[in-house]
């Protein structure tokens, strides 16, 4: 069991979620469903990392890291959709997508590291 706030991947995921919340403030009313799903998916990335870090069994942590990876893929798609629907500017999309890819890489690396020690 470890303090999730000390995990760099959690810090990056949390920062990304805050940026997504800010970026989605300007979504039109017609985009409320996408806004809510995008916020939920991005929140799940950081929350799954946090919950996983509290587990005593490494296999449980890995399962939750994989759930975070799935949420990251959903976030990736919803960011793309938001840009295609012109709810996000191309520049904002590019910035958020780049940060998301960094989080995805960190998640994969942490998952591999833990799995290697099982």
Are 71 and 52 contacting, i.e. CB atoms less than 8 angstroms apart? no
Within a 10 A sphere around the Cβ of 30, how many other Cβ atoms?
Answer: 10
- Looking at residue 37, its pLDDT comes to 99
The residue extents of the domains of the chain are: 4-116
- Looking at residue 56, its pLDDT comes to 82
Taking residues 99-114, what's their average pLDDT?
Answer: 98
Q: How is residue 99 written in tokens?
A: 């940060």
- Looking at residue 1, its pLDDT comes to 67
The 3-class SS string of 36-91 reads HHHHHHHHHHHHHHHHHHCCCCHHHHHHHHHHHHHHHHHHHHHHHHHHHCCCCCHH
| Record: fold of 4-116 | de novo design (two linked rop proteins) (1.20.1440)
* pLDDT per residue as tens digits for the range 30-80: 999 999 999 999 999 999 999 999 988 999 999 999 999 999 999 999 999
């Amino acid at each position: 069991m470890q303090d999730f706030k000390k995990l760099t991947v959690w810090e990056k995921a949390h920062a990304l979620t805050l940026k997504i919340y800010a970026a989605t403030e300007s979504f039109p009313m017609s985009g409320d469903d996408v806004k809510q799903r995008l916020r939920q998916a991005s929140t799940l990335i950081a929350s799954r990392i946090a919950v996983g870090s509290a587990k005593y069994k490494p296999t449980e942590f890995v399962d939750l890291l994989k759930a975070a990876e799935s949420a990251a893929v959903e976030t990736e798609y919803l960011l793309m959709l938001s840009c295609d629907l012109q709810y996000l500017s191309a520049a904002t999309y590019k910035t958020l997508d780049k940060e998301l890819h960094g989080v995805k890489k960190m998640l994969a690396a942490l998952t591999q590291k833990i799995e290697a020690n099982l």
